Each structure stands twice: as structure tokens, then as C-alpha cells.
């Protein structure tokens, strides 16, 4: 018989719900309004200044996957699961997310984008890495994360990262070398440097979820390092910049971006832990709103793409015969933001109803197949 689910930390639920909200907004606006009425609209490209808050969505989500895995791992060890059982469950979950991510790419982004290495396939790969990391000392895991960050710019330079992004989005050929390079370094969320987020989340979780001053010191150190990199970017060697002109970019995930979002997420988790976790947490209304969204974050991720991408493809086929003809130019940004807000309201209601009535969703399917 499977053990009961591990205790949920309200701080993690709130931050994951915030990440989902950011993700919905950025995807609706980027996909529906990125170049509306302009060749280079103000909302085109997630690295622009306007997108700074939403640029934390993917890093926060990836980081929290490592934190949650640490809590899940400890909980199941205490319930008597063997090391082998936990490892196999982790591997099954990782493989499930990778297969789901590839199927999602085909069904939502069309077959030519099956290997774009989006967030789902990355989180699945992250779980496979965490299945190995759980057997290592935290210091070794943090060293591995640091190594991933350090070598990523050089790998981008060697692989000619920019040549895969000439049209403003990831474009590759169906060859083994391009597919492997996309997974490692040139895709949307490649192993280098994105694997650092779940690894740091896993290794730093016990320190961040404490009441000592250590979490604040960790966050401050990462933010300071990011600030130093931004300040000295123009004078830094190619091995650090990877040939990227901007100091803060998400595509590619620059060194400053990785360190800054890691620091910001560590700080947010440390603060939320002090405010929301425990027997008498503050902000019960916030927790009540966030918990269902966090619990069904995978379902919301899948659903919010379907409800705004599929109609876009259908409209394109009906009007021009080309599914992608209206991508990024169908609505003004204000309309896209309004639609994102409407989806979040509807999604919140759906998640609350699904939780009360125990309606099967993507998360329950994963548990049934993998646990």
C-alpha cells in the first residue's frame, strides 16, 4: 500500500502558484501578442525589461521541483520505503514527464517542434538527475550545480547557440547532433545551465526551510554575485558571457540571470517559510487559493496551452490555410493579459472543484502509473 502523501509546505504551494500565474501571463501575451501591429513589438522576447517578473516563472518552478523532491524523498524514507523503491519511483516519474513533454510538443506545438526541449521534458530530466543526487552529499550536489553554471557559456559558444535562434525562437534540424545539442545547450530549457535550479533546490532545501539567518545569507550572496556579473559584463571573457550581448537574458539563460533568479527564489522561499509555514500560518486566504493551483500545476500547465494555442492554430487554418499564420499577432497585449487573467480565475475554480470532488487530472495519472 502506498504511504500517505508528504506534508505540504504552504510556502512552496504559494510560490508554485505564483510561478504558474506568471507562466500563464507570459505565454498568453507572448503567443497571442508578441509582435502585434509591429515587426518588433514591446512584448516580443521574454528577456525584455517588461518581462522581468515573469522571467522568474520557469526558474522558480524548476527550483521548487528540487525542494519538493527533497521533502518527498525524506518523507518516504521515514515511511519505510527502500532506497530502490524510491529510486525506481523517481525514474518512472522522470520518464513519464519526458514522454508527456514530447507528446505535448507534438499535440500543441506541432510535430516539427517535438524536440524543442521545453520545461516538461527538462523537469523530467531533472527528476532523473535528482534520483542520482539523492545519494550524494549536499556539498557534491552544489558543486555539480556550480559546474553546470560555469561551463554553460563556453558550451553555448562552442555549439554556436545564436545560429539556432536566428528567427527569435529555437529552430533546429531533425538530426541526431541538433537534437542532442538542443537537449544539452541550445534548446529552450537545456541541461546546461538549467539543471542547476533543481540541484540547488534539492541541496539547499534543509537550509532554506529553517528559521536561521543562513537562507538570507545564501540569497544575498547569489544576488550579489549576479549584480557583480551584470556590472562587469562588458569586460568579462567569452567563457563567461558565451558571446551574449545582454547581461540579463533568459534565452540563453545568462550567468547573471541564473544567479539572480536563484537568489531571488531562495529569498522568496525563506521569507514565505517564515510567514506561511507552521501550525498557525499567516495569510490563510492566500494558502487556500494557492494550494489547489500548486497541487494541479501540471494540469494547469497543459490546459493553459491548449485553450489558447489550439484555437490559434484552428483560426490560422480557417483563414489562411497555415496553422501558425496568426502566432504572436492575433490580439493587442491588453486583450491577451485579460484572457490570461480570465483563465487564472477559471483555472482556480476548476482546481478547487477537482480537489473537493477528487476529479482525476494529470497528477493523479502520474501517481497511478509511477508510484
Mean pLDDT of 65-85: 93
Could you tell me the pLDDT band of residue 64, with boundaries at 50, 70 and 90?
very high
Q: What percent of the chain shows pLDDT beyond 90? A: 68
pLDDT at 46: 43
pLDDT at residue 61, as a whole number: 96
Which grid coordinates belong to 364?
493523479
| Average pLDDT of the chain to the nearest whole number | 89
pLDDT of res. 168: 76
**Residue 239 CB-density burial (10 A; 0-12 exposed, 13-18 middle, 19+ buried):** exposed
The whole-number pLDDT of residue 37 equals: 64
pTM of the model: 0.92
Task: Specify the 3-state DSSP secondary structure of 137.
Answer: coil
Percent of the chain with pLDDT over 70: 93
Are the C-beta atoms of residues 206 and 70 closer than 8 Å to each other? yes
Q: Examine residue 263 and state whether it is found in any structural domain, yes or no.
A: yes
Going by pLDDT thresholds of 50, 70 and 90, the confidence category of residue 42 is low
Query: Are the CB atoms for 11 and 290 separated by under 8 Å?
Result: no
- Please report the pLDDT score of residue 234 as a whole number: 83
CA distance 118 to 367: 22
For the chain, the C-alpha Rg in angstroms (whole number) is 20
Domain count, the chain: 1
Rounded CA separation 249/129 (Å): 25
| Summary count for the chain: helices (H), strands (E) | 15, 0
Greatest alpha-carbon pair distance for the chain in Å reads 60
- Position 275 scores a pLDDT of 87
Question: How far apart, in whole angstroms, are the C-alpha atoms of residue 151 and residue 245?
Answer: 18
Least trusted range by pLDDT, from 11-15, 200-204, 228-232: 228-232
Q: Sorting pLDDT into bands at 50, 70 and 90, what band is 4?
A: very low
Contact 355, 295 (CB under 8 A): yes
Q: Indicate whether 5 belongs to any domain.
A: no
- Quote the pLDDT of residue 38: 59
In this predicted structure, the answer to whether residue 49 has a pLDDT above a threshold of 60 is no
pLDDT confidence bin for 48, thresholds 50/70/90: low
- Residue 3 domain flag: no
Q: Does residue 143 sit within a domain?
A: yes
Query: 265, exposed or middle or buried, with CB in 10 Å at 0-12, 13-18, 19+?
Result: buried
Q: What is the pLDDT, as a whole number, of residue 242?
A: 81
Most confident of 49-63, 84-98, 199-213: 84-98
Looking at the domain assignment, is residue 278 inside a domain? Answer: yes
Q: Specify the pLDDT at position 1.
A: 34
| Residues 6 or more apart in contact with residue 200 via CB below 8 angstroms | 63, 66, 142, 145, 262
* Residue 38: strand, helix, or coil: coil
Distance between CA 328 and CA 46 in Å, rounded? 13
pLDDT the model gives residue 68: 95
Range of the domain at 291: 10-370
Model confidence band, residue 39 (pLDDT cutoffs 50, 70, 90): low
The predicted model gives 277-297 an average pLDDT of 85
94 falls within a domain: yes
Asked whether residue 23 carries a pLDDT value surpassing 70, the answer given is yes
- 4 belongs to a structural domain: no
Q: Give the model's pLDDT for residue 5.
A: 45
Report the alpha-carbon angle 61-62-65, nearest 5. 90
Across 63-80, average pLDDT:
93
98 domain residue, yes or no? yes
pLDDT in tens, 224-275: 999 998 888 888 888 778 878 788 888 899 999 999 999 999 999 999 998 8
- With 60 as the cut, is the pLDDT of residue 7 above it? no
CA–CA dist 177, 348 (Å, integer): 42
Amino acid at each position: 500500500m502506498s504511504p500517505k502523501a508528504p506534508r505540504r509546505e504552504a510556502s512552496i504551494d504559494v510560490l508554485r502558484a505564483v510561478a504558474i500565474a506568471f507562466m500563464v501571463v507570459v505565454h498568453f501575451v507572448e503567443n497571442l501578442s508578441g509582435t502585434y501591429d509591429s515587426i518588433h513589438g514591446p512584448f516580443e522576447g521574454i528577456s525584455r525589461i517588461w518581462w522581468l517578473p515573469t522571467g522568474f516563472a520557469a526558474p522558480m518552478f524548476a527550483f521548487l521541483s528540487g525542494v519538493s523532491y527533497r521533502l518527498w524523498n525524506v518523507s518516504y524514507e521515514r515511511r519505510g520505503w527502500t532506497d530502490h523503491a524510491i529510486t525506481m519511483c523517481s525514474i518512472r516519474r522522470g520518464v513519464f514527464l519526458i514522454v508527456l513533454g514530447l507528446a505535448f510538443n507534438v499535440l500543441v506545438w506541432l510535430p516539427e517542434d517535438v524536440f524543442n526541449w521545453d520545461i516538461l521534458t527538462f523537469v523530467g530530466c531533472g527528476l532523473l538527475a535528482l534520483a542520482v543526487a539523492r545519494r550524494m552529499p549536499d556539498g557534491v550536489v552544489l558543486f555539480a550545480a556550480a559546474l553546470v553554471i560555469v561551463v554553460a557559456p563556453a558550451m553555448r559558444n562552442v555549439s554556436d547557440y545564436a545560429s539556432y535562434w536566428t528567427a527569435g525562437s529555437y529552430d533546429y534540424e531533425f538530426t541526431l547532433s541538433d537534437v542532442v545539442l538542443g537537449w544539452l545547450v541550445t534548446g529552450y530549457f537545456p541541461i546546461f545551465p538549467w539543471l542547476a535550479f533543481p540541484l540547488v533546490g534539492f541541496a539547499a532545501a534543509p537550509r532554506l526551510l529553517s528559521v536561521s539567518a543562513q537562507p538570507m545569507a545564501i540569497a544575498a550572496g547569489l544576488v550579489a554575485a549576479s549584480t557583480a556579473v551584470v556590472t562587469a559584463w562588458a569586460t568579462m571573457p567569452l567563457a563567461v558571457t558565451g558571446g551574449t550581448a545582454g547581461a540579463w537574458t533568459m534565452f540563453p539563460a545568462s550567468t547573471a540571470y541564473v544567479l539572480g533568479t536563484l537568489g531571488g527564489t531562495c529569498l522568496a522561499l525563506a521569507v514565505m517559510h517564515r510567514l506561511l509555514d507552521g501550525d498557525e500560518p499567516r495569510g490563510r486566504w492566500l494558502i487556500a487559493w494557492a494550494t489547489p493551483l500548486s497541487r494541479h500545476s501540471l494540469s494547469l500547465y497543459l490546459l493553459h496551452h491548449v485553450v489558447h494555442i489550439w484555437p490559434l492554430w484552428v483560426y490560422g487554418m480557417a483563414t489562411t490555410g497555415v496553422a501558425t499564420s496568426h502566432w504572436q499577432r492575433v490580439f493587442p497585449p491588453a486583450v491577451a493579459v485579460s484572457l490570461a487573467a480570465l483563465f487564472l480565475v477559471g483555472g482556480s475554480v476548476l482546481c478547487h472543484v477537482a480537489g473537493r470532488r477528487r476529479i482525476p487530472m494529470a497528477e493523479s495519472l502520474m501517481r497511478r502509473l509511477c508510484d
